[in-house]
Structure 1
């Protein structure tokens, strides 16, 4: 069974569909698959889901290949295909949204004296369909997510058909086939079958197709496209997709919900969420003590897990870990598939890192012979302010992500306990505000730590290695609050 990842992928075919979804996602960063597929990774405000976006182009075959590729690379908890479609029903208005309860691949069949259909079909994920029905119940969902003044679309839960032909004719052999054998479908498009089929084969990943009605598939497409209905339909489908994601249970509160609903077995786990206070902080090998820095380096967040009870690692294992750092970073999309990653093996540590001074990017992974695991990444920048932005909510989310990344970096002999540490270095020449506010601002006051140099949160609490994963949200919140106190 696939382990929860807290990740979602949204696929689109056309540029206007991609832009419609992209407008709802913040903190976007480009990630390249080794085969060249480009993804953007970000988050939806108000959720803890990591969202990946990609544009696959038109057609079921290419969509199936790229869906499989994305699932293998990202390991998401759910996937969505969002975009526009032609209506097959008179009671659907232009701009309405169809949530596909089932996807029919209508081109399968056998030609004898008559054409005998042999369709393939895939039902919608029950969990995602229920989330969509719940989201659509809110009378205000569209007003929150659509441009001001835009009328809320009707949402229909009906089957759709997907083939390789763009249908735009009121009378044709294909229309007769669809009417005779797929009379229940509400919309027709050209990617849903490839998407649904690939998701079904890839460990049954929950999948949902959401389509906005842009034309009537009856010969009037040129007229409706000229009327701007493609853009309206894409906006409406994207907005409902975001509403569905917001209706899903938060990936970071699942453990807490299970604890509250199963109190009889929760007490040991609840205790594990509280660290043990140390009499003295454990020593830390800070990033700048081991790797050379540049004079104009951007503000960089670094996260450490200090291993207690870990034997000193031999150099032959450190040599293997150097390569593992690179492969782990790429598989987890910490390093992009195309950027140059430097691998370093020294007497006391192994590291892999990438730097791009043009955009202030500075990321890296490290492990020391004492078992300390470390990673770092530069703070996000505001394009309007041209400086790093320290956003407490975003920082807490990233600290949690980086802690989980470090926990996936395993040595042969696991430690007994972990003590987390955090630093921001350098901690000057940045602004403290939300990323959303920074995008809409042309000015901001510089923030300083008040001490100069780095802000370091020393490791003065420890968690059992077996329980630290469940405590990650608690640890991230504590470290972030302590960091923000310096500003």
Structure 2
């Protein structure tokens, strides 16, 4: 499971939709993804939420790719798609807002004598939908966010349809298809299916589509656009999105409530359980580069290992099953992106799933050996300004904790034993040490190791009981990161 991040991403398709959301966010700063996508990062007033904004353009494919990209980079607690749509119901007024309880991708089907629909569908996040219903209960929800003098619109909780066609005709074959097979939908648009599908693949990151009705999808679009209803609908959708975020528990409160809840219902582990046992000699570890030699294009890569003590040799038939599990686990945890090609291999001594991008130098993978070693790795984040990987101590500690939790999802496949954690960066000669925030604005940096090559490896010399290692993850991540930073 993901650790709470206190971050939210809001996507829009059109510039006017983007500006409508942007007007509610303060302290905006530009954040560049390594592939070129530009985000803006700021805060929503009166909340503890950080918000990232992105404009994806029209179409489901672009929405899917950039949604997956944002989830991978930002690792948000929730994602929203906000903007305008065509209304499909007579009881919807122009400017009303539709919260999508379900998103239909209506273009799927099979053409025989007749067209037989095969739609994909995604349910709205229950948590976000409940927050939206709560926000909409108070008729004053839009008073502050909306321009002065504008009344709050009606909010409808109904399904929407998303395809690749802008519908603006009262009578057409597409309208007949929608009326016959998707009669319950309230609005139609062109990005929600890609967005919802990508969020669902990323371990079902909570997602919600909010749309303002700018036209009636009946041939009158030119008149309604000229009448300013696009701007009105975009403002209304943005205002409700902000109200929904404000209705969510603040990130700080959520963590406190979870801790309080756990202390009331689960016995806290004893202090001794959070202290590892020092080994007389480090356990042997097979580093990543010994099993899957890196390509010359790969940049500095963080690798995390859990070494199982006295684990029986795993049979090859089990390894073959684990090979497929590594791919599905990586996809569900958004460790592998929704669009990248993942290679899976079964060798005599290990099974692995990994992805490599020679253009960016990105390398990411999961591996399990027949001796019970669990391993994963990912490239350090890169600065587009500095053109080199960045080792941010705070970010690294957070990622080490996340990667340990990811490996623990596999530990049920290893007979209950004890685990010794290990850590490395390889190669470690071309990187800089600074915060990611500083790297985004800096144009110069110093090599971290003054030209010294080779890997930096923290050997597994502490061991933890399998039953306690999960509770001890923050402690282990802090210890490993501190020891790592001593080498830089």
Instruction: Name the CA distance, whole Å, in 2 between partners of 1:43 and 1:465.
Output: 39
Single out whichever of 43-52 and 262-271 deviates more from structure 2: 43-52
Instruction: Name the CA distance, whole Å, in 1 between partners of 2:275 and 2:132.
Output: 35
* Structure 2 residue matching 1:374: 3-state secondary structure: strand
* Structure 2 residue matching 1:422: 3-state secondary structure: strand
* Structure 2 residue matching 1:384: 3-state secondary structure: coil
* Structure 2 residue matching 1:385: 3-state secondary structure: coil
Instruction: Name the CA distance, whole Å, in 2 between partners of 1:101 and 1:129.
Output: 12
Instruction: Name the CA distance, whole Å, in 1 between partners of 2:80 and 2:156.
Output: 15
Shift of the alpha carbon at 1:301?
A: 0.9
Aligned match of 1:454: 455
Aligned match of 1:394: 395
Aligned match of 2:422: 421
Shift of the alpha carbon at 1:295?
A: 4.6
The normalised TM-score by structure 1 is 0.61
Instruction: Name the CA distance, whole Å, in 2 between partners of 1:248 and 1:429.
Output: 42
Instruction: Name the CA distance, whole Å, in 2 between partners of 1:191 and 1:372.
Output: 48
Instruction: Name the CA distance, whole Å, in 2 between partners of 1:246 and 1:208.
Output: 15
* Structure 1 residue matching 2:375: 3-state secondary structure: strand
Instruction: Name the CA distance, whole Å, in 1 between partners of 2:462 and 2:149.
Output: 51
Aligned match of 1:345: 347
Does the aligned pair in 2 maintain the 1:306–1:420 contact within 8 Å?
yes
Instruction: Name the CA distance, whole Å, in 2 between partners of 1:81 and 1:334.
Output: 22
Q: Do the aligned partners of residues 19 and 278 (structure 1) sit closer, same or farther apart at CA in structure 2, a change above 3 Å counting?
A: farther
Instruction: Name the CA distance, whole Å, in 2 between partners of 1:103 and 1:293.
Output: 43
Aligned match of 2:155: 158
Single out whichever of 475-484 and 246-255 deviates more from structure 2: 246-255
Q: Do the aligned partners of residues 272 and 362 (structure 1) sit closer, same or farther apart at CA in structure 2, a change above 3 Å counting?
A: farther
- Report the RMSD for the aligned CA atoms in angstroms: 5.9
Aligned match of 1:438: 439
**2:401 pairs with 1:406:** no
Instruction: Name the CA distance, whole Å, in 2 between partners of 1:323 and 1:104.
Output: 29
Instruction: Name the CA distance, whole Å, in 2 between partners of 1:252 and 1:453.
Output: 41
**2:313 pairs with 1:312:** yes
Aligned match of 2:326: 325
Match of 1:189 among 187, 190, 201: 187
Instruction: Count residues in correspondence.
Output: 414
Shift of the alpha carbon at 1:425?
A: 1.6
* Structure 2 residue matching 1:466: 3-state secondary structure: helix
Q: What per-residue deviation string (whole Å, max 9, x for no partner) do you get for residues 126-166 of structure 1?
A: 66544786799999x979xxxxxx99998767326667796
Q: What per-residue deviation string (whole Å, max 9, x for no partner) do you get for residues 430-466 of structure 1?
A: 233343443344x121231466432333334443323
Instruction: Name the CA distance, whole Å, in 1 between partners of 2:437 and 2:292.
Output: 33
Q: Do the aligned partners of residues 208 and 362 (structure 1) sit closer, same or farther apart at CA in structure 2, a change above 3 Å counting?
A: closer
Q: How does 1:22-61 map to 2 (within 5 A)?
A: 57=59
Instruction: Name the CA distance, whole Å, in 2 between partners of 1:354 and 1:416.
Output: 30
Q: Do the aligned partners of residues 292 and 261 (structure 1) sit closer, same or farther apart at CA in structure 2, a change above 3 Å counting?
A: closer
